[in-house]
Amino acid sequence: MNLESDYVSFNAAGDDESSWSAGPREAKVVDRWGGNRAVLYKGFIPVPRAFLEWAASLKPKPLSPAEVLFIIMLVGVRWREKPPRLSYDTIGERTGLSEEYCRKLARKLERRGLIHRTRRQGDANHFDLTELFRSVAEHARLCSAQKETAR
């Protein structure tokens, strides 16, 4: 990664791909993190506010910070339609959580119906996030509709 030029900017109001390209009213991701491009040497993971608000609003119990971090780590490797593939060891290394705790988080998220794990012998785990994405999108849609009704 060329730290002088290979960074992404975003427009918080944008909702399409063009909102990630350069423009006059956009704030650069690097600026949000103190202005030093070195913070992006491993890239970055976009996290919508709707996800964070959804996670905090779940009933009967919101997601824990560790569960949120676990999901963000999975989203960070999901770049195509295929489910993300990561080992619990890798997730643990990237989050500072133990491998066993990562397994526990995955079991909890699966019991809640938010992810589906496919275990493959000799291969990384496959994590299907379809239901999680559906639930976050529904939450965002309902919040948007409530906001429009309140106007």
Beta strands in the chain (DSSP E): 9-10, 27-28, 85-86, 116-118, 125-128
pLDDT, average across residues 117-145? 91
Cα separation of 151 and 88, whole Å? 46
Phi, psi angles (nearest 5°) of residue 81: -70, -25
Cα separation of 68 and 12, whole Å? 21
Longest pairwise C-alpha distance within the chain: 55
Confidence of residue 20 (pLDDT cuts 50, 70, 90): very low
The dihedral region occupied by 122, where left means phi > 0, alpha psi between -120 and 50, and beta the remainder, is left
Answer with the residue of higher pLDDT: 79 or 85.
85
The answer to whether the bond into 60 is cis (omega within 30° of 0) is yes
Which residues fall within 8 angstroms of residue 90, CB to CB, at 6 or more apart?
A: 124
* Residue 124 covered by a domain: yes
pLDDT at 22 over 70: no
If asked whether residues 134 and 67 sit together in one domain, one would say yes
Residue 120, CA distances (Å) to 73, 101, 117, 124, 131 in order: 19, 19, 10, 7, 21
Cα separation of 37 and 94, whole Å? 20
If asked whether residues 25 and 64 sit together in one domain, one would say no
If asked whether residues 130 and 82 sit together in one domain, one would say yes
Quick: pLDDT tens for 29-61. Answer: 888 888 888 888 888 888 999 999 999 999 999
pLDDT at 8 over 50: no
- pLDDT computed for residue 99 by the predictor: 95
pLDDT at 100 over 50: yes
* Residue 151 covered by a domain: no
pLDDT at 135 over 90: yes
If asked whether residues 75 and 96 sit together in one domain, one would say yes
The residues pairing with 132 across neighbouring beta strands, listed in sequence order, are: none
What total number of domains does the chain contain? 2
Domain range enclosing 19: 9-40
The residues pairing with 27 across neighbouring beta strands, listed in sequence order, are: 10
If asked whether residues 124 and 72 sit together in one domain, one would say yes
- pLDDT computed for residue 27 by the predictor: 64
